[in-house]
Amino acid sequence: MSLNTLLDSHTAFESTNSEAEYLSRWQAATGNINSPFLKAVAGGLQADRLAWVFIAGYQGAIRHCFELPRDLRDQHWLTFAVSEDRSRENPLPGVTWKEIEGQLILQGHKTWIAACDSISALIVKAGRGEQARYCLVGYDSPGLTLTAKAAPKMLPDLSQGRASFENVVATKSDLPQRRPIAQFGVTEAFMTYSAFAACIWAQAQRLSEEFSERSILLINQAESIYTTEPDSLSPEPLKTFDQGIQALLGDWLAFEGNTDSHWQRDQQLVRMYSRGIQK
């Protein structure tokens, strides 16, 4: 599927009431799309808030950096479990691994699990440095406990939680990488920006010709960046893209046709990536 085909086939914008409802819509809209970039854009077209913009971009970033098994690639949400407890006093131990009779056994904790109520599997970083392993764990694996946070401060519409591993056997002990893991952060930013531009384009169809034109230019700019250098996402084009996205966000927040308060509440999602990109 091409970008133009995706945009031409988009139907009228509709709001969503829950994470489960958005997941269902995401599955219907992205199930036959293989490109991680187009998957992020298609998810953005279905989003009516920044929580869904993030998860759409996040799923694109995961698929850009990892080669997923076929049964998870199209219809399922995954999370990249990396963050560990940084408390000064009595921090929870991070995830470690040991190999026993050909099986990778995980023990420890991860502190941030995106969409914990809706994921089918976790990509877990176990160990550190050269000893790190990237493995796949099903959400219902014995010994895995996912605990949702009661009231996340950022993107509260998106379920977020912690994961505890007690002798959990990895479903896949070495997940193939499509791109260097060091690129995940910038890839997440790029995919989230792309989903955001698509989200604004979809909403602007009924509200503003100006925002429609500005957002489609940014979507096309993103496609050019992705198709030209998908393995590196070069800094200079990203800096220009970031400037356009930040300007679009600022004007959208001030646009009188935008009456939803969650845009003001969650704008930090888009703001937070800019500093790193511009550096």
pLDDT tens-digit series, residues 259-270: 788 899 999 999
State pTM to two decimals.
0.95
209: CB partners within 8 A, 6+ apart? none
Q: Distance between CA 70 and CA 150 in Å, rounded?
A: 33
| Largest Cα–Cα separation, the chain | 63
Window from 4-13, 32-41, 215-224 with minimum mean pLDDT: 4-13
- Per the CB < 8 A criterion, the answer to whether 117 and 19 are in contact is yes
User: For a pLDDT cut of 90, what percent of the chain falls above it?
Assistant: 77
Q: Distance between CA 240 and CA 54 in Å, rounded?
A: 20
Question: Average pLDDT, stretch 128-147?
Answer: 95
Domains of the chain: 3-66+180-278 (no CATH), 78-169 (2.40.110.10)
**Per-residue model confidence (pLDDT) at position 8:** 87
pLDDT in tens, 228-258: 876 777 788 999 999 999 999 999 999 987 8
E strands, 24-132, are 78-81, 96-100, 103-114, 121-126
217: CB partners within 8 A, 6+ apart? 244
**Per-residue model confidence (pLDDT) at position 45:** 96
